[in-house]
Amino acid sequence: MVKIIMGLKGCGKTKQLIELVKAAVKEEDGEVVVIEKGQKLIHEIPHAARLIEASNYGFTSYEFFKGFISGLHAENYDITHVFIDSLLRIVDQTVDAKLEEFLDWCEAFSERENIKFTITISADASLATDGIKKYF
């Protein structure tokens, strides 16, 4: 399952993500991972969630992100949920076909490995294609 929270800066996406992380830590039986750029969530999410600061790893593309997620899973099969805050900011991209391809990859990975993804995207939701909107 992939869930997208999309909207312009300041509309409450990160606040919603924080609440979802808190609920996942309480309700899910596995490990919860949060990937962000910067350290704005360090005091906001429960310590039980694994917080990964993307700047430490040099994210440069969706391909790198796919490999990173695959590596996380290979290292820890107990991951049940991956939260990604500000995806476009992490990979320095815009809303385009590559974003849609990445989301489709996450959906296929989710189904195959039983991992949920919740992703925030800082962009006007009217820019979303039908292929992106299916994850709203």
Domains defined along the chain, listed by start: 2-133 (3.40.50.300)
Tell me the pLDDT tens digit for each residue of 125-135.
999 999 999 99
What mean pLDDT do residues 66-95 have? 97
Distance from the Cα of residue 15 to its chain's centroid: 14
Residue 44 main-chain phi, psi, to 5 deg: -100, -30
If we measure between CA atoms, which residue out of 34, 28, 25 comes closest to residue 86? Answer: 34
Predicted confidence at residue 121, as pLDDT, reads: 98
Q: Output the average pLDDT for the chain.
A: 97
Question: 77: how many CB neighbours lie within 10 A of its CB?
Answer: 11
State how far the Cα of 12 lies from the Cα of 5, in Å rounded to an integer.
9
Tell me the pLDDT tens digit for each residue of 63-79.
999 999 999 999 999 99
Tell me the pLDDT tens digit for each residue of 101-111.
999 999 999 99
Predicted confidence at residue 2, as pLDDT, reads: 98
Predicted confidence at residue 90, as pLDDT, reads: 97
Residue that is written with structure tokens 């995207």 in the block: 121
